[in-house]
Amino acid sequence: MNNIEIKNVSKKYEGFLLDKISFNVPAGTVVGLIGENGAGKTTTIKAILNIIKSDSTVKIFNKDIHQDEKKIKQDIGVVLDDSFLSDYLTPKQIKSVMKEIYSTWDEEKYNQLIKQFNLPENKLIKDYSSGMKMKLKIATAISHNPKLLILDEPTSGLDPIVRSEILDIFRKYIEEDETRSILLSTHITTDLEHISDYIVFIDKGKIIMNAQTDKLLEDYGILKCSKEEFSKIKEDDYVSYKKGKYQYKVLIHDKNNFKKKYNMTTIDKPSIEDIMLFYIKGER
């Protein structure tokens, strides 16, 4: 079962086209959405949530978001950069607002998260730091026990310790119920290596990769070689390369097959960030 199914999501702005984006978010999984700033990640998320109108088919929980938006959103927790929370509310006041919106609002869970994040209950949101505001958004999004979390840069601006704490909360959220899912957009790709099941890579409004995270990190490799060695490699056997003063770095998309064809063994394991940067910044 897929908690999100999107097909041919397209949106045109002056100077930018989100071009027929299609992917699924299966139940019980975390899907990471990556790409440069301006690649189309936030536009995709807003199209999924019907915040912006697009030419698309979007199904959440097998229901059309355009037809059943109100019912669907009762079971979604959302964290976006532009918060829906008034700066002149306190976390304590938010409880009163949320329990009127969500029939499944869990005040005990909310209080627990507020305490865990060390957020002052009676302090106005406008006086919070950016990191504190993000933690409050996450606490609010999770506290009505949604079936789906949609998160746009949820760990941005947070220190590594708090980021690790939040990732643990996301893991626990999935483990508590195997029908739940998370769609997580981030530029901190190291977070995705620890939590995601799938990676969807958007570049210039198009999907250029949609793969299982483990398989991606297992299959790809970075070869370090001389110019002479590089000249012997067929173009079909690599994705991109970077030319240095003394050596070439080459992104290989099937390192096991590559090792069988070429007598070059200095192949390192890449990170998701390495793969992304080779696709975007590498030479071809």
pLDDT tens-digit readout, 183-196: 999 888 988 998 99
What's the rounded Cα separation, in Å, for the pair 69 and 17? 25
Q: What is the mean pLDDT of residues 95-110?
A: 91
Q: What is the mean pLDDT of residues 107-124?
A: 93
Q: What is the mean pLDDT of residues 59-81?
A: 92
> How much is the pLDDT for 103?
87
What are the C-alpha distances in Å from 211 to residues 23, 25, 199, 201, 238? 10, 12, 5, 9, 17
3-state SS, one letter per residue, for 189-233: HHHHHHHCCEEEEEECCEEEEEEEHHHHHHHCEEEEECHHHHHCC
Q: What is the mean pLDDT of residues 66-80?
A: 92
Say if residues 136 and 160 touch (Cβ distance below 8 Å). no
> How much is the pLDDT for 210?
96
pLDDT tens digits for range 194-236: 899 999 999 999 999 999 999 999 999 999 999 999 999 999 9
Superfamily of domain 2-215: P-loop containing nucleotide triphosphate hydrolases (3.40.50.300)
β-bridge pairing 148-152 and 181-185: parallel
What are the C-alpha distances in Å from 261 to residues 88, 183, 232? 64, 38, 11
Please state the φ and ψ torsions of residue 74, each to the nearest 5 degrees: -65, -25
- Residue intervals of the chain classified under CATH 3.40.50.300 are 2-215
Q: What is the residue type of 133?
A: K
Say if residues 33 and 184 touch (Cβ distance below 8 Å). yes
**Predicted model pTM:** 0.92
- What percent of the chain lies above the pLDDT cut of 70? 99
